[in-house]
Structure 1
Amino acid sequence: MKLISRTLLACYAAIVCFALSVELNAAETSRPNILFLLTDDQAPWALQASGHPHAVTPSMDSLVSEGAYLTNAFTVTPVCSPSRASLISGRYGSELGITDWIHPSREPNLGLPTDTTTWVQLLQKSGYHTGLVGKWHLGTPDSMHPTNFGYDSFMGFRTGGAPTKNPTLEIDGKNQKVEGLTTDILTDQALEFLSNAPSDKPFCLSLHFRAPHTRWLPVADEDWAPFAELDPTIPNPDYPNLNVPRVKQMTREYLASVAGVDRNVGRILQLLKDKKLEDNTVVIFSSDHGYNMGHNGIWHKGNGHWVLTKNPPATKNIPGGQRPNMYDNSIRVPTIIRWPGTIKPGSKVEQTVSNLDWFPTLLEMAGVELPADLNIHGKSIVPILQGKNVDWDNEFYAEYSTKHQSQTHMRMIRTPEWKLVRDFLNEGRDELYHLTDDPAEADNLIDSDSPQVKAIIKELDAKILAQMKSINDPVLASVPAS
């Protein structure tokens, strides 16, 4: 009788353990996979879905039609390293000591502080299988390796750049030259990660493309074909002294690079479909910052370059040919989210969001609780994606202290109607734009005699200073007391 009882108890215990195991596995597989596609230097205008007459982006456009298109998404710093630091940490670059792109030879020890908590770490600890393919640019020392910040695996390059073709990439911890186009090679690795991801846990893959960062060529023949003979429409051909032939040539090359990314995004979306993963995978597409292509007479990003036949004179801290800026074309980023069963296909999100919002958003998507003692900025946009009517603050603060090609301390506040940019290092570089009437930011009103405009400047200036104080911005030490 005792033997039977023990046998029954053992069987019961086994059944309970099996049931718990099934329940846990079911919970794991019900959590969404996350695929974060991040391009480098891509402007929102470089999408057919945004109305560009020449962009070839059917895969990106398909995500727009199947998900939500965030029309007012921004980065808090319009250059690579600090933008990526803010995305992964939920903090401003000035809080992390990263205020401009990291120069690997001049700044060999600079990178993401090793005690930084990232959303990748929290997803990893909660059971996600994590990986990064592509660009890191947050420090080259081994102590700042991506696998120390939550990624189970890494294949790509730790520095800021890689050639468009035949790159040297870190694979299994060793640098080796790989033959082929870099965009295709990185996608191949991402496809391998997705194909081999464990079936008993959700995955989170970050694919950081190198394109469409300059240099843009070479690209695959099929990506170049639509642009080889194109006479492209450009945004403001009548801008004084604009080098129109150069802008048109760069536009062709840039759009071809974007087309190469889009072709590879299509490969990834097809694999998700073939493996029946698309219904349980959140696909996020964004970029580290925007881009100018002749807009306001410049090309490049926040550390812009004039593209004129005759440049304005150099100043003490701004060399000839340079135009550091916080234009919308530099800070706005193309952002699309496909989340089957949650986001209504074809949705448009017009609320102002930033890359600081990814930290709480991704945790909520994954069902991971935000640690109470963690000091981050940003707010989860999940309720907006769910179509809920939520109260939302559409004011946006950004910062950029350039230190390589130029020396500046730009701080910015943007509302849906106004934008004020202050340069605390260079007198005479402050800017005010009435975005409602002047979305192209062509008319700087900073010296206006209008009492209304002066009141707006005073109000926005106070908001910039308050934000700087709230994050202990080191630039405050150089700001005269009012």
Structure 2
Amino acid sequence: MSRPATAPAPITKRPNILFIVTDDMGAWAMGSAGHPDARTPHLDRLASEGTLLRQHFSASAVCSPSRACIFTSRHCLEVGIPDFLCQDPEVGLDPQVPSIASELKAAGYDTTLIGKWHLGHGKKFHPTRHGYNEFTGFLIGDDSGPLSSRDPVIEKDGRRSRVPGYTSDLLADYAIDFLRRDRASPFFLSLHFWAPHANQGVSTEDGDRTWHPLKSEDWDLFKDIDPQIPNPDYPKLDIPRVKRMTREYLASVHSVDRNIGRVLAQLEAQGILDDTLIVFTSDNGYNLGHHGIWHKGNGWWILTDNRGDRPNLYDESMRVPALVRFPEKVKAGQDITSPNSSLDWLPTLLDYAGVNPSFTPRGQSLRAPLSGADAGPLRTIFGQYRMWDWNQTGADMRSWRTQEWKLMVDLKETVPNEFYALHRDPCETTNLASSDDPAIRAAMRECKQALYAYMKQIGDTPVPVYN
């Protein structure tokens, strides 16, 4: 029986906020999520001392659009970020769009971003035009070259230079330096790791993507394991490649976890750990053999006879880890299994800060369920991802996810429609889009009608005509 919904106690003291975002981390890649090979003791600590959101979904499936959704509580096409951003200086997130950082800065927070931005490069779209007082990290899409797990080019104090060291360690170093400062106001620190994104400009001997170089204390834990993979019986799955990638990926996740431990230790040493609202999440999810593909919404087949494109909005591309720790305000050891969205972070953080948004967010505050109250009515999750026209496939995808059903459509019809009965097929293995079963046809019709009605509501046009 669910508990009656109750309003959380009023905020009497504004908390510090540490908002940690990883890059391309699947919800499955943590010990607390049940993966037998993951080594994530510090993330597992956050789960045991706080709340784990098991059904938390990104509103898009690729870096830039998913980050725009998190940052603004708007859908990616509403803010003009359909796909990952490259070097076009005229494409980026409009600084006039309200964001988490701009709302908290206006309320008196000390705002800093350390790590990955990827919402436009150059002065026009710089993080400091979006509410951050300071930025140390990488814009992505500028002329700094490909990003890697070691010796990255980092912008600090407006100047870019190559910094020796492992990228995850360096970002944690900058975060620790920030935390050591004396300050009169609460802080909002966005710590955006590059890991566990696969490296750019680095490849294996046969030209494949890799997560190397990896620090020995991360890689040594995984280099000799025989990792579990999600569906070894998938036809023509390139199992050796999946296992090699999985070992490297989990080591990269460990580099994040290890450095989060360092940041938590710094908060503890300063006596402010329990005064800090800590959120851990990722921009989008990740596939490693799931559905026969690897990567995210712009995935590729990982088969012995096919390495081509496979655009998708599968749950593995959309479901992301989500942990929240804030003693006495967030229930410890709680699992929330009802669905929620990355659009919810802006209203949630502002709620904890006692700040009323200057606009109406698409998401909703999670403060009540995080405190242990009933989560309210079950929610439907909408997904949106439009590939750039120059992309080989050029898919324009939408998804509609209820508790029972999952619909995926490509408005350009380059990818077949997919329809899954989640209540009996949670891994999305059997596509029912061509089923003749009247009950399934009726359910699919209802989902399509609801999807198109929502698209019309948010101005996502042109809305297809259902037939």
Q: Map of 1:388-399 to 2, 5 A cutoff?
A: 388-399=373-384
Deviations 1:302-350 (A, max 9, x none): 1110000112xxxxxxxx7111001100000000000111122101111
Deviations 1:347-385 (A, max 9, x none): 1111211111111111101001122xx242011010111
Aligned to 1:291: 286
Contact kept? 2:338, 2:375, Cα under 8 Å? no
1:140 aligns with 2:121: yes
Superposed displacement of residue 197, structure 1? 4.7
One-letter identity of the residue aligned with 2:239: V
Deviations 1:275-318 (A, max 9, x none): 0001110110000011000011000001110000112xxxxxxx
Aligned to 2:427: 440
Aligned to 2:202: none
1:206 aligns with 2:190: yes
Aligned to 2:451: 464
SS across alignment from 1:392: coil
SS across alignment from 1:30: coil
Take 2:164 and 2:52, find their aligned partners in 1: how far apart are those partners? 35
Superposed displacement of residue 178, structure 1? 0.3
- Give the fraction of aligned pairs with identical amino acids, expressed as a percent: 45
Contact kept? 2:287, 2:293, Cα under 8 Å? yes
1:109 aligns with 2:90: yes
1:86 aligns with 2:69: yes
1:250 aligns with 2:237: no
SS across alignment from 2:191: strand
Choose which of 181, 184, 196 in structure 1 pairs with 2:181. Answer: 196
Contact kept? 1:414, 1:420, Cα under 8 Å? yes
Take 1:440 and 1:481, find their aligned partners in 2: how far apart are those partners? 27
Aligned to 1:186: 171
Take 2:23 and 2:455, find their aligned partners in 1: how far apart are those partners? 27
CA RMSD of the aligned region, Å?
A: 1.6
Aligned to 1:52: 35
Choose which of 159, 164, 169 in structure 1 pairs with 2:140. Answer: 159
Contact kept? 1:77, 1:400, Cα under 8 Å? yes
Superposed displacement of residue 405, structure 1? 4.5
SS across alignment from 1:227: coil
Aligned to 2:18: 35
Take 2:369 and 2:338, find their aligned partners in 1: how far apart are those partners? 8
Q: Which moved more, 1:387-396 or 1:297-306?
A: 387-396
Take 2:12 and 2:157, find their aligned partners in 1: how far apart are those partners? 28
Q: Which moved more, 1:246-255 or 1:161-170?
A: 161-170
Take 1:48 and 1:88, find their aligned partners in 2: how far apart are those partners? 27
Going from structure 1 to structure 2, the CA distance change for 1:76 and 1:424 (only over 3 Å counts) comes to same
One-letter identity of the residue aligned with 1:84: R
One-letter identity of the residue aligned with 2:400: I
Q: Map of 1:15-414 to 2, 5 A cutoff?
A: 30-104=13-87, 107-159=88-140, 162-198=147-183, 200-215=184-199, 216-311=211-306, 321-371=308-358, 374-403=359-388, 404-414=391-401
Q: Higher Cα Rg: structure 1 or 2?
A: 1
One-letter identity of the residue aligned with 2:233: D
Superposed displacement of residue 471, structure 1? 1.1
Take 1:337 and 1:289, find their aligned partners in 2: how far apart are those partners? 17
Take 1:168 and 1:224, find their aligned partners in 2: how far apart are those partners? 23
Superposed displacement of residue 238, structure 1? 1.3
Superposed displacement of residue 42, structure 1? 0.5
Contact kept? 1:60, 1:262, Cα under 8 Å? yes
Contact kept? 1:76, 1:399, Cα under 8 Å? yes
Superposed displacement of residue 480, structure 1? 4.2
SS across alignment from 2:233: coil
One-letter identity of the residue aligned with 2:78: E
Superposed displacement of residue 230, structure 1? 1.2
Aligned to 2:204: none
In terms of fraction of residues, the more helix-rich structure is: 1
Take 1:370 and 1:187, find their aligned partners in 2: how far apart are those partners? 30
Take 1:442 and 1:470, find their aligned partners in 2: how far apart are those partners? 31
One-letter identity of the residue aligned with 1:186: L
Superposed displacement of residue 401, structure 1? 1.0
Contact kept? 2:112, 2:134, Cα under 8 Å? yes
Contact kept? 1:129, 1:197, Cα under 8 Å? no
Superposed displacement of residue 226, structure 1? 1.1
One-letter identity of the residue aligned with 2:224: E
Contact kept? 1:119, 1:359, Cα under 8 Å? yes
What TM-score does the superposition give when structure 1 sets the normalisation length?
Answer: 0.89
What TM-score does the superposition give when structure 2 sets the normalisation length?
Answer: 0.92
Contact kept? 2:72, 2:346, Cα under 8 Å? yes
Going from structure 1 to structure 2, the CA distance change for 1:240 and 1:62 (only over 3 Å counts) comes to same
Take 2:256 and 2:392, find their aligned partners in 1: how far apart are those partners? 28
Superposed displacement of residue 394, structure 1? 1.7
Take 1:189 and 1:392, find their aligned partners in 2: how far apart are those partners? 41
